[in-house]
Structure 1
Amino acid sequence: MVELFDRQGNSHPCRVLLDNCSQSNYITERMASRLNLRRQSVDITVTGLNLASSNITESVGAIFRSRFNRFAKRIDFLDVPYITGTLPSIPLKRDLIKIPSNIRLADPEFYKPANVDALFGIQLFYKLLCSRDQLEIQGQKAVLQKTQIGWIIAGEVSLNRSKSSMTMCHLIMKPMQNDATDSELTRFWALEQVPSNQFLSPEEQACESHFSENVKRNDELTFFQCNSKVIPCFGIQVFEKPIY
């Protein structure tokens, strides 16, 4: 949880997902409308798992602040209808996750499924981490990680029940503009493509017509000349004997 500021300078609680695989920051249309943020037109295609793509047409800028210290920053968001489903996807048993009493969690209600209002990507992800402050959670594979916005729980949480049938992946890639590699590949395939229409010079058309009229193929798949004449065709002679 962080505080996001609207255009009048008022703060609003915002539930944020940290994602070091995302190349951009995102905010839901609902949250952007609540903050009355000024929208700007963009034309960006983002791609995720299995190359599923979405076209984004608006972006906004906003200031966020930590609930625990003075860390604040203005960042740009891409405006999207939804970021993901509710997280966690199922309720977690809070008593199974032993959190030391002196730890101040960024989201004290992390165990309750709830909507995600914004996503911080790679541009901000590592700037938020306090790299030397990490604690193991007793009986869990997940760890406690200190960040500028409070302690977060990262990793797998054991549920003492059958595995959930729902899994989420938040990999998001934004194609670079004027991507040289993509341009070269497109050009390569354009050059390699066989044209659907074949254009022949007058000389080539004459040779092809002569071949069609004077050369046949027998049952043994051998080419032979139909008449006894030897006819020059622009430097090429067709002989009476079989051509293999």
Structure 2
Amino acid sequence: RGSLDLNLETLSGNLIAQNHSFHVLEKISFELPRVELCPEVLKRAKSFVLADPIFGKPGPIDVLIGNSLFPQLLTNERHSLGANMPSALGTIFGYVIAGTAPCLSTAPRASNLAISLLSTTDTDLHSSLQRFWVQEELPVYDKKSEGELACDKLFETSHTRDSQGRYVVRLPFVDNLAYAKLGTSRPIAAHRFESVERRIHARNSSPLKALYIDFMDEYEALGHMKKPPHLNLSAPHYFLPHHGVVKEHSSTTKLRVVFDASSKTSSGLSLNDVLLTGPKLQNNICDILLHFRLKNLVFSCDIRQMYRQIKIHPDDQRFQLILWRGQPSLPLSTYQLTTVTYGMNCSPYLAIKTLQQLAQDEGSNFPQAAHILKHHSYVDDLIAGASTEAEALELQQQLIELLRLGGFELRKWVSNCPKLLQQLPASHQEPPVFLQPSSDPMFSILGIHWSPVTDCFKYNLNFTSDAPTKRKVLSLIARIYDPCGFLS
């Protein structure tokens, strides 16, 4: 599927290999070990600091390290666990258990496993083509699964609204006892925070440091995270590791802190493993864009911090704990996130379902806006239009009022109707981009550049001066984002 260069480090931050080449595969192997090991093996291995504390349970393989690095990993320490038992081999990651080991008598017979890898030089083209065919494929609408139906039922029976009209939702666990299967999560969250802290406080990361701290300070100031009044770590809970994602082209948030609900606990399960994802509720992008082309006067806007305007029920906030401090000299503090969170597999469902619920609850007073919210929105982007200026202004006002009742605010307005933009402060309007110095101002509408001056979509293509070949043309076509096929 591709290749990339990565730095390989130990948990303590010691660099093993810099810019080492790795291939990206759909799947490295089956879960290993193929069978669960006898508890006696785990018992005898407890006295060692293990590279993988849950080595005895079958699990996915994330990284396969080749022979070129293997000698650098060994520390020449070897300890036998006993007769007919494997040995503990010392590595710079910790001890690994190697050799023949007794398995549970109830385990199925193991099978031989052979892995082969063929690497070609056209992986980038292959990846581009794969994304191209997926993008061009017409959507297939399947019936909802039992889990998706259960997720819908849980939302419908458990969501509430606070005194300000904001929605309060529950985390959709797979079942009533799913969270009890979570193990210890604080050590890995602490280790990953220390790694992030070292990076943002490094000399060459001063802009990243300021952006990260400002983001977290705002998070706390808005009440989206707070210190737990009564923290009971003996009850089931979960610590979310976090890291920053820089968005160079964003006109508002240059850095977003993303929380990792896929981080495994000591039981081998993550929070995402015990949550229902919910059905896919996003509207079809092609349908939205085609409707956008039918109106004379059109506009686009997005919902400010949509996820963070939806509250999580207080009883579920213990599964959204994080570690944070602004300076390394300060003690490490525990916070709980109080809203729907980036990085959880159920977050897109909870956010879109909440908007649909708002349209249902308040739609009788704002019928046109409710229709847009249900059928012409894509996650936090609203794309709509009207035939006349009066209709456009009425629709704009309905959307603002409807979203306000749910605690949401609209911003990044774009339109080819000047009077519609005159109603808004400059801070609520999206600044344009210019593909070329002398070109019309352009705005992004669901990933496609649109000119409000000419009311046309435009594509910025970078042709090379080399002689065109079929392969080069194919590669260029695969990189063009054109969900409706306007160019073809």
Q: TM-score, normalised by structure 1?
A: 0.42
**Higher normalized strand content (fraction of residues):** 1
Greater RCO (CA < 8 Å, at least 6 residues apart): 1
